[in-house]
Amino acid sequence: MKNILVLCTGNSCRSQIAHAYLKYFSFKKANIYSAGIEKHGVNPRAIAIMQEDGIDISEQSSNLVEEYLDIEFDFVITVCDHAKEVCPEIASNQSVRFHQNFRDPSKVRGNTQKIYDAFEETRNQIKDYCRSFVKHNL
């Protein structure tokens, strides 16, 4: 079974969403982990937008990458540019690395609709990416 780490800055939105979709699409073909360079907690809006797609991430936890240093990862997927810059210092050299920068919806400011649209757009992009990743790599 493959080990996959999804890494972003705060492990609150993008990596949490990717964690859930990779788990869903891989269906027991991989162990999925997500972590951050920092730990910001799972964003309530990420929980809500995933619930709309029928996936409950309310029990997922926000973790620091240091919590997984003893795991050999087959794949490390960075979902933000900051994590990509820091990743080579913390991930196993044996891991195959993938990078896709997704817009951070938690940084969007404006009215409720604008924020919702940002979370929905990011969720849909991550969903498509994860579906393709599993199809081509697992």
The confidence score (pLDDT) of residue 90 equals 62
Question: Token pair 């995933």 is at which residue?
Answer: 50
Q: Which residues are catalytic?
A: 8, 80, 87
Q: Is the pLDDT of residue 23 over 70?
A: yes
What is the domain range of residue 34? Answer: 2-137
For the chain, what is the domain count?
A: 1
Q: Using alpha carbons, list the distances in angstroms from residue 4 to 15, 35, 59, 73, 134.
A: 12, 11, 19, 6, 11
The confidence score (pLDDT) of residue 91 equals 54
C-beta neighbour count of 136 within 10 angstroms: 7
Cβ(86)–Cβ(35) below 8 Å: no
Write the CATH number for 38.
Answer: 3.40.50.2300
> Rounded to two decimals, what is the model's pTM?
0.94
Measure the CA–CA gap between 20 and 127, rounded to whole angstroms.
9
Would you place residue 70 in the very low, low, confident or very high pLDDT band (cuts 50, 70, 90)?
confident
Instruction: Strands of 29-104 (E only): list them.
Output: 30-36, 75-78, 96-99
Cβ(93)–Cβ(55) below 8 Å: no
Higher confidence at residue 80 or residue 94? Answer: 80
